[in-house]
Amino acid sequence: MGVTCVCQVPVAEGKSVQQTVDLLHKKLEQLGAVKQGSFCVDCETYHATGNVSGQPSKLLYVMHNSETPLSCLALFEGGPCLIADANFDVLMVKLKSHFQNAKGHKVECRGSRYRYCDFLIKVGTVTMSSSARGISVEVEYCPCVVPGDCWNLMKEFMQSFLSNSVPELPSVFAAKPEGLFAPADCVDTMTQYLELFNKLRKLQIPGSNVR
């Protein structure tokens, strides 16, 4: 896995979510990107039970990524995080006396994968309860694992199809210590998806019905 940036792309003026996604696909194909299947990232939310009286319930997020089908990621609100076997979901059912599933809070991001030279691009529609909440774009620069060494190159590439929607350096990378070898990993990617999902949970946008 290389350095990955996940960002939200606004819905184009006068367009629906799907029409905006189609426009992004067209721009990538015009660049010469080749479609390589599909992807899915999802997130289930659990409330910790039995907490101290008066204390807010801590949240646990269990996330899956089709790029790593044999594992999942469990992130506590505010940390820490755990990379676990895919059967971790079965364990969560057995721990229902400690963690309660927040029904109706599952978020999914599904879409198409594209390859362009050393870049892997994923354009997805983020949905919650069958309602589209927004559009995500994930860009991975595969040959490099040190964000500071390739961010300018990634930013220049994203400008070629995102125009003014290019994000700043993700906060998960900005927090890494300078001068040390601190490679990017799957936790960084999923943390960015979680930040995006939590932001989009609160939004309802025009043209959001998914058929």
Q: What is the residue-averaged pLDDT of the chain?
A: 87
Predicted model pTM: 0.88
Residue partners of 98: CB distance under 8 A and separation at least 6: 48, 49, 50
Q: Which amino acid is at 106?
A: K
Per-residue pLDDT, 103:
78
Residue 80, preceding bond cis, omega within 30 degrees?
yes
How many Å apart are CA 51 and CA 157, to the nearest integer? 47
Q: What are phi and psi of 84, to 5 degrees?
A: -130, 170
pLDDT in tens, 48-106: 886 555 566 788 999 999 999 999 999 988 778 889 898 898 888 888 888 888 877 89
Give the tens place of pLDDT for each residue, 101-144: 887 789 999 999 999 999 999 999 999 988 889 999 999 999 99
Give the pLDDT band (50/70/90) at residue 45: very high
At 204, which amino acid appears? Q
Q: Which of the four pLDDT bands, split at 50, 70 and 90, describes residue 208?
A: very low
Identity of the amino acid at 10: P
Instruction: Say how far apart CA 46 and CA 29 lie, in whole Å.
Output: 39
Higher pLDDT pick, 80 / 190: 190
Domain with residues 3-40+109-186, CATH architecture:
2-Layer Sandwich (3.30)
Task: Sort 179 into a burial class: Cβ within 10 Å, 0-12 / 13-18 / 19+.
Answer: exposed
Q: What does the domain layout of the chain look like in residue ranges?
A: 3-40+109-186, 41-101
Instruction: For residue 112, give the nearest of 43, 183, 20, 34 by alpha carbon.
Output: 34
